[in-house]
Structure 1
Amino acid sequence: MQTLNIQSSPSTSTAGGGSDTPHALVIGSGFGGLAAAVRLGARGYRVTVLERRDQPGGRAYVYRQDGFTFDGGPTVITAPFLLEELWELCGKRMADTIDMRPVSPFYRVRFHDGEVFDYQGDAEVMREQIRKFNPDDVEHYERFLRMSEQIFEVGFERLSHVPFGSILDMLKITPAMIRLQSYRTVYNLVARFIEDERLRQVFSFHPLLVGGNPFKTTSIYTLIAFLERKWGVFFPIGGTGTLIRGLVELVEGQGGEVRLETEVEEVLVEQGRAAGVRLKSGERIDADIVVSNADSAYLYKHLLPARYRKRWTDKKLERVRYSMSLFVWYFGTKRKYEDVAHHTILLGPRYKGLLDDIFERKVLAEDFSLYLHRPTATDPALAPAGCDAFYVLSPVPHLDSGTDWEAERERYRAKICAYLSSTIMPGLEDELASSHVLDPLGFERELLSHKGAAFGVEPVLTQSAYFRPHNESEEIEGLYLVGAGTHPGAGVPGVLSSAKVLDKVVPHADALVHRSARSAQ
């Protein structure tokens, strides 16, 4: 077991370690878990973060090999103020340690016929890009963006940072959701404004970045269009791993601890409350509250015994719709591909049909659409001199597809390589310097994601807000959830917002001290 805290600390298991300061345990060190740890530390808790892998980050794990640095997962940073808030809670400025660079275009969208749309924040450039495909859609896009702003004002500014612990909370927002047509899907709402089919794809693909099918995901997610216009898209120099390291430093600066290679086996319950955890090693760690950044289905199926679960039973968890999985190939090249943008979306010959295969039929199709990340377009130091670092991901069905990934892995990787070589990366097969693959089996085994789903619970309307696993567990007191599997959902802004919700549902540490004092009298 490793620890990132340079200060010595007891490995014994008392909640306060001899201190009256309430102890908070955080299971998992993804963006949601570390953000929760910072917020709890700022509210008076002594915080211990438990991470089963050899480095923090969760899906933001960093792979380093052959001189290349590959960010494991999140690479699109939007709404940077949510990160800046965490530094401010510690009396610091994020800009003093993190160099965030704007990315332009936000995305280069390449259609199967080779035509390209550069999606970016400059309003006039966007009009020019739209005009190339359909001049009439310039005005239609402006109307769509105004609708996106209205949805943003409700869906993001009013709802993403508040808990939905009661059905009454859901009923309160129902009129606004009806007015904003949240019953529509993302694609359906986009199609009400945009005529050109290729442009409909451009303005509806965003749910795929958070695990949703544009033809099934609630249209609340069209708020992303305005969110990106408002704040832009960024990338930190050094990769998103620098953000994880920065958050760990904040936790430690508050006196907290991040323990690596420390796997939780069970959340312990006493008198109906979370009382700590038992580790795989057999060690017990007591705590006043427990916050889980684990996959929500994994938490309830494997970490909380069935006798404590009334709502999230195994039967209920099997009825839940889970997001698609991903096939992610990390690779380095011996040459630079200067014409490749930082973020590229390569759309295949089918749109709805492919998404039906992935989400509904759960079959691995022969065609694919891809997201290609070239971080060295912004930070060349992530690769050796004269080289480029990449990852390319293909949305694929989760493990209910029955695909034999042990047998399929190399064939699928080679097919993606050949496609990239024949389109925007000529000669790629002969230029490879490093290679690593993460497939749905990896999501299940390494990230403990139920069914290998890359984003947890699928963001359809009937699994949003109140209908997702709650931030304050419905099962036992003192257990809280953050991350993609709870409200508001996946994506960096979503998981950071889930940690912000804790400010409203977790009592301040002083309140627990007073409660304990009264109980002792």
Structure 2
Amino acid sequence: MKKDIFIIGSGFSALAASCYLAKEGNTVTVFEKNSTIGGRARQLKKEGFTFDIGPTWYWMPDVFERFFNDFGKKPSDYYELIKLSPAYQVYFGIQDFVTIADNLKDIIKTFESIEKGSGAVLERFMSEAKSNYDIAIKNLVYRPGVSPLELITPETALKVGQFFSNISKEVRKRFKNQKLVQILEFPVLFLGAKPQDTPAFYSFMNFADFGMGTWHPKNGMYSVILAMEALANELGVKIQTNSNVEKIIVKQKKAVGIKVNGEEKFCDVVLSGADYHHSETLLDIEHRAYSESYWEKKTFAPSSLLFYVGFDKKIEKVEHHTLFFDVSFDKHAEAIYDNPAWPEEPLFYASFPSKTDDSAAPTGKEAGIFLIPLAPGIDDTEEIREKYFNIIINRFEKLTEQSVKENVIFKESYCVNDFIKDYNSYKGNAYGMANTLFQTAFLRPKLKSKKVENLFFTGQLTVPGPGVPPSLISGKLASELIQKNSTKR
């Protein structure tokens, strides 16, 4: 039965869902509060520079391929992918860095050169990680989180111990060198929790890293959003920007429409791809499935302080993606998860897309994106932002042994207050809800409202979890539930 469906938000999950639902013949309209689509994956253009405001890592290319294949398309029909070589670089001190190659064979050699015997250990670890990837990404994550039985398969039965161990423990059992440990713990940060709180099964992220490589879509991650918009348009989806949804209209415990820019509009189904907590505030209290205390108790992925910087020269001694792990990882993690506060000595990440992509900066100049992970909900002021820019840029100059501060043409910042203002993000989180043991699969907020018929949710706070590939999958899962569980007015 064809339905009239309204979707709130235009991030990866919402756009994915819009495509699947339109393909089934439904009438689909997307309402986006901002002036441009993309949700967290918007773009900043300034003085000839182009920055991805949100995600900058393109991992798990197979998930993107599977999405476009569902419509008889390929990513290459819409954008060009460049495999980064090297994938990224990690600084531990002055003239002390590890470069991660674009293939596992060379990464094994790098490990062996740092810790004797670790090459063979890494090979075995990656074989296990690939097995987990095949189970998780090709199967488990495409299940809607309705029942715990979804997790029980012949394959997962053999790995049950990995759900009760953690990444940190498993990595440290195998590797002694602290640099190698940190490099192997790094990918699970995309899941939003500390390695010691992330089930060992999630080592599949290490296969996503070392086994599949790091990619860059030409013209930036926003190319993927534009590709999804083009596909949605081909399928007949209507997208309305500058359309702030103020209320989800419920009658007789059934979602029947939305109030947008002061006007009531009616439909058969409402799907929210906006922040889940915010989406529920659009409902009267009696229709909300989760209380404020529920959200308070959950472990949220970090927020971020980001800087988008235009430099008037090329930056040396860095790769497209460069991580700075020259200070204590544990202390920074404590400031995010245990005692929320601004970190005294922050780890940070820098991306220089113009190393790969000429469109990111004018000739002879460099576009730099700097990111510090932070606890959500902490104080955010211009003074604090400026203080932390100086902290990281001074460290950057020292570690890379070059002067760059005097070469800044401009810098724009983005932090907790902006995540709240632009995305109605709970406490200004940047990545959603963390994938800890008790926040996995059926234990996450549901795709289908437990209290309101014809109301559904998608995105990083529901299944399967944080990150761009999981968001694409979330849109597919939500669309399948809508086809199966919704009714016409």
Q: Which moved more, 1:147-156 or 1:101-110?
A: 147-156
In the alignment, is the contact (CA less than 8 A) between 1:337 and 1:425 conserved in 2? no
1:353 and 2:334 equivalent? Answer: no
How do 1:160-309 and structure 2 match up within 5 A? 160-170=141-151, 176=157, 179-279=160-260, 281-300=261-280, 302-309=281-288
Change (3 A) 1:472 1:112: farther
Change (3 A) 1:446 1:333: same
Residue aligning to 1:132: 113
Residue aligning to 1:117: 98
Which of 330, 349, 360 aligns to 1:371? It is 349
Which of 444, 447, 472 aligns to 1:496? It is 472
CA distance in 1, matches of 2:7, 2:108: 46
Shift of 1:406: 3.6
Amino acid at match of 1:292: S
Residue aligning to 1:313: 291
Shift of 1:87: 3.5
Residue aligning to 1:154: 135
Change (3 A) 1:254 1:261: same
Deviations 1:234-268 (A, max 9, x none): 11111111111121111111111111111111112
Aligned residues: 489
In the alignment, is the contact (CA less than 8 A) between 1:151 and 1:180 conserved in 2? no
Shift of 1:106: 1.8
Amino acid at match of 1:427: S
CA distance in 1, matches of 2:401, 2:251: 58
CA distance in 2, matches of 1:474, 1:222: 32
Shift of 1:219: 2.4
Shift of 1:453: 1.2
Residue aligning to 1:324: 302
CA distance in 1, matches of 2:77, 2:376: 40
In the alignment, is the contact (CA less than 8 A) between 2:38 and 2:225 conserved in 1? yes
Residue aligning to 2:414: 438
TM-score, with normalisation over the residues of structure 2?
0.94
Change (3 A) 1:57 1:76: same
Structure 2 gaps, min length 5:
none
Shift of 1:503: 4.7
**What percent of counterpart residues are identical?**
26
Match of 1:507, SS? Answer: helix
Match of 2:163, SS? Answer: coil
CA distance in 2, matches of 1:86, 1:418: 42
In the alignment, is the contact (CA less than 8 A) between 2:89 and 2:100 conserved in 1? yes
CA distance in 2, matches of 1:209, 1:175: 22
Residue aligning to 1:485: 461
CA distance in 1, matches of 2:113, 2:290: 50
Amino acid at match of 1:308: H
Deviations 1:341-374 (A, max 9, x none): 1111110321222211221111212211111111
CA distance in 1, matches of 2:158, 2:410: 47
In the alignment, is the contact (CA less than 8 A) between 1:338 and 1:377 conserved in 2? no
What is the Cα-based RMSD across aligned positions, in Å? 2.2
Residue aligning to 2:389: 413
Deviations 1:434-493 (A, max 9, x none): 211001121122221111111121221111111111122323222222211111111111
Structure 1 gaps, min length 5:
1-19
Shift of 1:53: 0.6
Change (3 A) 1:267 1:219: farther
Residue aligning to 1:10: none
Residue aligning to 1:12: none
TM-score, with normalisation over the residues of structure 1?
0.89
CA distance in 1, matches of 2:161, 2:65: 30
1:79 and 2:60 equivalent? Answer: yes
Shift of 1:229: 4.0
Match of 1:111, SS? Answer: strand
How do 1:5-24 and structure 2 match up within 5 A? 21-24=2-5
Match of 2:483, SS? Answer: coil
Deviations 1:140-194 (A, max 9, x none): 1112112212221222222111111134445669963853512222212211222
Match of 1:410, SS? Answer: helix
Change (3 A) 1:173 1:414: farther
Shift of 1:425: 6.5
CA distance in 1, matches of 2:158, 2:412: 43
Residue aligning to 2:403: 427
CA distance in 2, matches of 1:505, 1:476: 14
CA distance in 2, matches of 1:182, 1:330: 38
